[in-house]
Structure 1
Amino acid sequence: MKKYFLTSAQIALILVYLVIFAGAFVRLTGSGMGCPDWPKCFGYYIPPTEQQELLFAAGKEYDKGQVIIKEEALLVAKNDFTSKTSFDSTNWEKYTKHDYAIFNPIHTWVEYINRLLGALAGIACVITFILSFGYRKENKKLILLTFLICVLMGFQAWLGKTVVDSVLNPFKITTHMLAALLIVALQLIVIYTVKKHNKTLVFNQKFNWILAGALGLTIIQIVLGTTVREHVDIVSETGAPEIMWLQNPTIAFYIHRSFSIIVLLTNLYLFYLNRKLTLGFNKINWVIIILFIEIISGILMYYFAFPFGTQTIHVVLATLLFGVQFYTILESNNKKMLF
């Protein structure tokens, strides 16, 4: 079991990041309500590709829970039945969790793939939890951590359901993102715990404190970013063109934009300390590269009217930045380092 544990944990982490990417792409394409029900999609395990499949048809076999769109409303089959020539309302009940009843095949399949990746990530986390029992004698903490990750993945699935039921409530979307970061952090702890560390890193208390502060700044920036995104979503839903999405931004946008300077300077100082004191934390180089690309994507969104893909890149890079910084903190607190 030990032999495959690390590989399984790493695969689970990659899948979680793929889910984050897919979730960002869902928001980019406005596909959040592509599947208006949960866990199925329009009552199907494999969603339809044409609206015709969601319209009432005579002589068709319907399964319990299957969904159709009729008169701009979602109707759910009460039981298994075969439809007659005319529509019989007694076989159907209205979907009551929300009144969103629009079918867009692209949105539906983007959201469906997002859910599939989430399911795969969940399965990978469960497998990692099972494999963690190989460490039950020497490190029971791994069993607890991997179990907690599974619980959080279940919470994420439930939260995803409530996001759909609430027709994409902004607060719940933000909570969804923060929960994903917590999962990433726990997965990195698991991976770091079992991974062999051959590099010699030099402990420096000043570097450690600033690194912890930099991670805190990143989390604040992510929260501010989701607030800005909520405003953008509201404006975009009015049908306004991209050039107008940040024409009258909230104060959160200006704080988010200005705060990025503090984030950059803090991490540049860490880069300087790492080089000057020869501490050996090479992942700080990754942090700087990610930050510069992140800032460029932000500039492109604001000054060039949200070029396609920049929003997704911006979100995914923020989570990657968090992951690299958190892993560097784990390295900097390694008890085996030279003092």
Structure 2
Amino acid sequence: MNKIYNLTLTSIIIVYLVILAGGIVRMTGSGMGCPDWPKCFGYLIPPIERSQLDWKANHQYNKDEIIILGESLFYAIDNFNSEKEINLSNWNKYTKHDYSKFNVYHTWIEYINRLIGAVAGLSVLVLFIYSLKFFRSKKSITLLSILSLVAILFQAWLGKTVVDSNLTASTITIHMLMAVVLLFILFSILALSKPIKPSVLPKNVSILIIISIVLLVIQILTGTEVRKFIDIQMELFNYTERNKWIENITNTFSFHRSFTWAIVLINSLIFLKLKNLDIQSKLIYTIITLIFLQILTGVIMYYFHFPFSSQPIHLLISTLIIGLQFYFLSLYNLKKNATKI
């Protein structure tokens, strides 16, 4: 494998780690563990005790560091040393949202999620810098690398928006879809940078794969709607009594569950067509395996009351399926442009 391929593959793996970490953040209700962005309570390394967020006399405060007063967050306007009594002229009330709780586990789960996101950003930046050397010989790789950098910067901004909005459902959904778009861009670079043996993929098979990808996007969107309901139930029951989380579940869940069969059907058709064409690909076997694992995790969540990590794994598998399908499609449709680098 060549260097651009390795760099792209590394970026893809890290993006999937971000998706997994994001799923854990949501499952544990840790999304507001850091109420500000990009820092956490105004610190590069977040606090480990609630007392660290209390106002202190004769203490050195740095700009943007946060304290909790009553039920509100306040941030330091500038660097200063506190006196014996609090002087509110040194502080501004944090008004982007009214969430002011501190939970050390939530804070560090969200912080680790952000650290992995930062590593993903650095990985894409390295990919972009390295791709510049191919601007004349292989412009498509350079342009896609630029696009991936723009996409991950936009994704970071969306992350800020999610926090500022106190985790509104619409911003979380857009954040998730943008991650899928970023994966599509990276998988396109991966396909272009990997030479493949000449092979003909019939147009009707390509169309079936495109339909499957569209169906998977719909499935992810309906899944986020189901997740909204579960999030509300989790808070309602204070993250306990898991058996009650699916009480009075919406019709979207029934659609989401039944829609799985459409995905199974079309991918079975793709598999049979490729087999008849004698196109041997480990990717297709991997995708089929992942689809059944996806169904299995869905069954486990429903009948075993959302055991720990089942939700982020369910999300990870769904994005793996859609990413690998897009890669397979790109690999054959971009094969004429594939080059050794």
Q: Is the 1:58–1:83 contact (alpha carbons within 8 Å) kept by the matching residues of 2?
A: yes
Partner of 1:82: 81
Asked if the contact 1:201–1:281 (Cα under 8 Å) also holds between the matched residues in 2, the reply is: no
Residue 237 of structure 1 aligns to a residue whose secondary structure is helix
The superposition leaves residues 253-277 of structure 1 with CA deviations (integer Å, 9 ceiling, x where unpaired) of 1110000011111111222222232
Which AA in structure 1 matches 2:224?
Answer: T
Give the structure 2 partner of residue 283 of structure 1.
283
- Contact residue 287 and residue 321 of structure 2 kept, 8 A: yes
**Which range is displaced more, 183-192 or 130-139?**
130-139
Q: Unmatched 5+ residue regions in structure 2?
A: none
1:274 aligns with 2:274: yes
C-alpha distance in 1, partners of 2:215/2:99? 37
TM-score where L is the length of structure 2: 0.94
Q: 2:199 aligns with which of 198, 201, 216?
A: 201
The residue number in structure 1 matching 2:326 is 326
Aligned to 1:134: 133
Aligned residues: 335
Answer yes or no: is the 8 Å Cα contact 2:192–2:331 preserved in 1: no
Q: TM-score, normalised by structure 1?
A: 0.95
Give the structure 1 partner of residue 167 of structure 2. Answer: 168
Local SS of the residue matching 1:219: helix
The answer to whether structure 1 residue 233 and structure 2 residue 231 are counterparts is yes
Root-mean-square deviation (CA, aligned residues, Å) is: 1.6
Determine if contact 2:192/2:335 at 8 Å carries over to the other structure: no
| Partners of 1:202 and 1:280 within 8 A in 2 | no
Q: Distance in 1 between matches of 2:335 and 2:75?
A: 58
1:221 counterpart letter in structure 2: Q
- Residue aligning to 1:23: 22
Q: Which residue of 1 aligns with 2:265?
A: 265
Q: Sequence identity, in percent? A: 42
Preserved contact between residue 200 and residue 280 of structure 1 (Cα < 8 Å)? no
Q: Which residue of 2 aligns with 1:64?
A: 63
Q: List gaps (5 residues or longer) in structure 1.
A: none
Does the CA-based 8 Å contact 1:281-1:328 persist in structure 2?
A: no
Which residue does the alignment assign to 1:218? Answer: 216
Q: How far did residue 148 of structure 1 move? A: 1.0
Structure 1 residue runs of 4 or more that deviate by more than 3 Å after TM superposition: 199-202, 334-337
1:93: which partner in 2? 92
Q: SS in structure 1 opposite 2:236?
A: coil
CA deviation string 1:70-111 (max 9, x = no partner)? 112111111211111222222211101011001111111111
Matched residue SS, 1:64: coil
- 1:10 to partner: Cα distance: 1.6
Q: What CA distance in whole angstroms lies between the structure 2 residues aligned with 1:256 and 1:245?
A: 17
State the distance in 1 between where 2:300 and 2:290 align: 15
Q: Distance in 1 between matches of 2:335 and 2:91?
A: 63
Higher normalized contact order (CA 8 Å, seq sep 6+, divided by chain length): 2
How far apart, CA to CA, are the structure 2 residues paired with 1:132 and 1:336? Answer: 19
Deviation of 1:185 (Å): 0.4
Sort the Cα spacing of 1:335 and 1:56 in 2 relative to 1 into closer, same or farther, 3 A. Answer: closer
In the TM superposition, residue 201 of structure 1 has moved relative to its aligned partner by 3.4
SS for the counterpart of 2:27 is helix
Rounded Cα–Cα distance in structure 2 between residues aligned with 1:164 and 1:246: 26
